[in-house]
Amino acid sequence: GGNVNKVINLTNLQATKLGKPTDYLDAFHDMESAVKYIKSQYAKAKIVIWGSSYSASLVIKLAGDNPTLINGVLAFSPGEYFDRSKTYIKDSARRRWIKADFAG
């Protein structure tokens, strides 16, 4: 996001200056790139990702869309927050091992 508690998010500021989108869903590709980089550096490592609220939804999507990359997920208060569809996150969750039952 932008400013929170009078603290400026420098990543958001730089992305805005470059004309890049800064919605919550836009963080997905950054998260995916970060996990792929970690996996390239530590090929045998087990990777667990986590999130809360919006980021919980994003980690579920990331794990569902990348089943060979991620070994575990901790998701606190995920929901269908994104306008893509009413089951955008659930659909990704069901591709994997996750039983998805969201309120939201």
Percent of the chain with pLDDT over 90: 30
pLDDT of residue 59: 92
Q: pTM of the full predicted structure?
A: 0.73
Domain ranges of the chain: 24-104
Q: How confident is the model at residue 84 (pLDDT cuts 50, 70, 90)?
A: low
Q: Which residue has the higher pLDDT, 54 or 90?
A: 54
Q: How confident is the model at residue 23 (pLDDT cuts 50, 70, 90)?
A: confident
Contacts of 77-86 spanning 24+ positions with Cβ under 8 A: 77/52, 77/53, 78/51, 78/53, 78/102, 78/104, 79/53, 79/103, 79/104, 80/104, 81/24, 81/53, 81/54, 81/57, 82/24, 82/25, 82/57, 84/25
pLDDT of residue 22: 84
The 10s digit of each residue's pLDDT in 37-82 is 999 999 999 999 999 988 998 999 899 888 889 988 888 888 777 7
Percent of the chain with pLDDT over 70: 87
Q: How confident is the model at residue 4 (pLDDT cuts 50, 70, 90)?
A: confident
